[in-house]
Copies of this chain bind each other. A is one copy, B any other.
Amino acid sequence: MKSYLIASALLAAAVPAFGQRPARPGGGPAIAALREAALHDDYAWDITEGLTTEVGQRLAGTEAEARARNWAVARLKAMGFADVRVEPFDMPTWTRGPEAAEILAPFPQKLVVAALGNSASTPPEGITGQVVGFDTLGELEAAPDEVVQGKIVFVSHAMPRTQDGSGYGHFGGPRRHGPTVASRKGAIAIVIRSIGTDHHRNAHTGVMSFDDGARPIPAGALPLPDAEQLQRVLKRGRPVTMRLTLVSQTGRGQSGNVIAEVPGRDPALPPILVGGHLDSWDQGTGAIDDAAGVAIVTAAAKRIMDAGRPLRTIRVIWFGAEEPGLLGGLSYKAKHPEPHHAVAESDFGSGRVWRVNSKLGKAREAEARLLQEALAPLGIVPGKLDVADGSDIGPMIADGVPGIELSQDGTHYFDVHHTPDDTLDKVDPADLRQNVAAWTTMLAVLSGGIEPEPKRRSRR
């Protein structure tokens, strides 16, 4: 018996709309039933397994992402969602070619390397230069141009593991700004220590851009073992020569947002938007980034749909082209100026939700507190009421759209993020279910009350 049937049975009394009910511990029995049943969810695993197995990597703007959209449309229709559609958009593309790095002197050896998104291409035979190393982005910034000119810059850093992923902001600097700084100082290329926290021979890619007209140069990331090896070699004090091959291609392509709905009883009310992103980097199969995210929000919406009909429409969105710069989110925002009751995105892996932040506005504080109350039984810490963030939805929240943030435990997120290691085996099914339970609970609270479908009721 599918667990959602249990939930439906327990929902003999419909979930009452927010405001008609006191903030009971745990959100009351109807929400508790949905929450508990979601801890046995299989929908999210099935989507994550299916998308990563039957499509695999789905780099933004490529034929693989188009196959992923087709897969998504078919799956969302099969699950019974309404108004399943694609909102397409054009975009510039960047695709990876042959890559290699080799220390030629003083100690000849190969290193593993991966180009960063938007890296300039080297010729097929690569480029050769002397390596100059810096321990931080700040050191590179402070270096006189003549130290860098004509050289291959190497930048290290000391990114730590953090639960909330907050290290990514500062320590992501070498990836986001390093190439521009190196280019401005006349470097012929840059390699950085991967913006990651694991010690495997897998480089972390990710997007960067050359600011304000800085001349594009080849830019790559070394896995941590390789970055530390290069540091040890540099520390010997002898000139270090490297050959670097980072071939890539640019062009134009199409992406798109896949949208599906659980229609609300009152279509005039602003919808709740929940999303993740469909595109992935190209090295892994995008399991934690972000098959898990689209799977979690879709499973939660499906569980509400199975339980009955919410007052407000739930809009599920699988954003296209998040990785190259939130293109899906920006496209949606431009096309959908209509009001939203709330927006929320799952895009931080498949680790358990440990905190809820929200930014629903002063007038909706009771709703926000009920949400905290309803999530607490899942071990979720009540966070702030004036903060919410998300990737594709970030620009909407910044513009004042009410937002919810179910913060996932990211302690090990940057072990895998943007690497070949982002594969299905990194997803813990129990953690995934806890996420589904959190999102189901959130939707139950915010959707304004679920009523069993007339058809369902008549069957009882």
Interface positions of A (Cβ within 8 A of B):
49, 52-57, 107-110, 112, 199-202, 224-225, 228-229, 232-233, 236, 283-285, 419-421, 423-426
Contacts and interface: CB of A to CB of B under 8 A. Distances in A.
Contacts of A421: 199-201, 225
Contacts of A56: 107-110, 229
A201 B202 contact: yes
A224 B425 contact: yes
B107 A55 contact: yes
Contacts of A109: 55-57, 285
Given A201-B420, A284-B201, A425-B199, A232 B53 contact: yes
Given A53-B107, A201-B284, 15 more contacts: A49-B232, A52-B229, A53-B232, A55-B109, A56-B108, A56-B109, A56-B110, A56-B229, A57-B110, A200-B421, A201-B421, A225-B421, A225-B425, A229-B285, A229-B424
Nearest to A53: B232
A37 to B, nearest CB: 27
A42 B109 CA distance: 25
* A-B pairs with lowest CB-CB distance, top 6: A56-B109, A201-B420, A225-B423, A199-B425, A53-B232, A200-B200
A53 to B, nearest CB: 5
A137 B418 CA distance: 35
Nearest to A202: B201
A202 B200 CA distance: 9
Given A107-B55, A109-B56, A426 B199 contact: yes
A419 B112 CA distance: 13
A424 B225 contact: yes
A104 to B, nearest CB: 13
Contacts of A112: 420
A12 to B, nearest CB: 39
Contacts of A110: 56-57
Contacts of A57: 109-110
A401 to B, nearest CB: 36
A82 to B, nearest CB: 28
A110 B199 CA distance: 23
30 contacts: A49-B232, A52-B229, A53-B107, A53-B229, A53-B232, A53-B233, A53-B236, A54-B236, A55-B107, A56-B107, A56-B108, A56-B110, A56-B229, A57-B109, A112-B420, A199-B421, A199-B423, A199-B426, A200-B200, A200-B201, A200-B421, A201-B283, A201-B284, A201-B420, A202-B202, A225-B423, A225-B424, A225-B425, A228-B425, A229-B424
A225 B422 CA distance: 9
A253 B56 CA distance: 42
A59 to B, nearest CB: 12
Contacts of A107: 53-56
A228 B425 CA distance: 9
Contacts of A228: 424-425
Contacts of A52: 229
Nearest to A56: B109
A99 to B, nearest CB: 13
A229 B423 contact: yes
A312 to B, nearest CB: 37
A419 B426 CA distance: 19
Contacts of A426: 199
Contacts of A49: 232
A225 B110 CA distance: 24
A334 B296 CA distance: 64
Contacts of A225: 421, 423-425
A275 B361 CA distance: 70
A162 to B, nearest CB: 20
Nearest to A201: B420
Nearest to A49: B232
Nearest to A112: B420
Contacts of A233: 53
A225 to B, nearest CB: 4
Contacts of A285: 109, 229
Nearest to A103: B56
Nearest to A226: B423
